[in-house]
Every structure is written in structure tokens, then in C-alpha cells.
Amino acid sequence: MRWLKTLITGILCIAVLLAGIQFTIHNTQKVAIDLVVVQLPEASLSLWLLAALGLGAVLGIILSIFTVLALRVRLGAARRRASTTQRELDELRTSSLKDAV
């Protein structure tokens, strides 16, 4: 089963690589990007688009890391609360048994 996963991953990587090559070949026009504050140098359209894709991917990963960290903090707090509640419940159960004897 592992070899099938490796095969499918390899085929997908090759397909993405071929699509990227085709994308680069068909988008060779030179464009200059004006960001109001700064004028970026003239480069091929495919380069600018791939740079925007890469920047978006990196920013998405960074933002998702912050979200995951916040969720882990909340999970830790919830686990501590559950542990405290469980200890209190156990104490109440044992104290009621002690009172009955």
C-alpha cells in the first residue's frame, strides 16, 4: 500500500512540474509591477505570478501556524480544566463513601 501512495505522489509531482513548465513557456511577456509606493523591475509574467503564489503560500502557512498554536493553547487549558474537574469529582465520590461508613 505504501508503494501505491509513493507512486501517486510521484505522478502528481511530475504532473505539477509539467504544468509549471507549460505555464512558464506560455507566459513570457515582460511586465512591470507598480505597487503605488514602489515600482518593481520588469520581468516575465510567469515569474511574477509564481512569486505571488509562493508569497501567498508562505503567508498562508505562517497564519495557519499561529492558528494552530492558539488552538493548542486552548486545548491545553481545556485539558487542565477537565483534569481539575475530574480530580474534584473523584474527591467528591470518595468523600461520600467515607461519610457513609
Structural domain spans, the chain: 2-100
pLDDT digits 0-9 by tens, 41-84? 999 988 888 899 999 999 999 999 999 999 999 999 999 999 99
- pLDDT value at residue 101: 58
Task: Give the C-alpha separation, 59 to 72, whole Å.
Answer: 20
Q: Residue count of the chain, please give it.
A: 101
Task: Give the C-alpha separation, 51 to 4, whole Å.
Answer: 32
The closest of 28, 75, 72, 77 to 49, measured between CA atoms, is 28
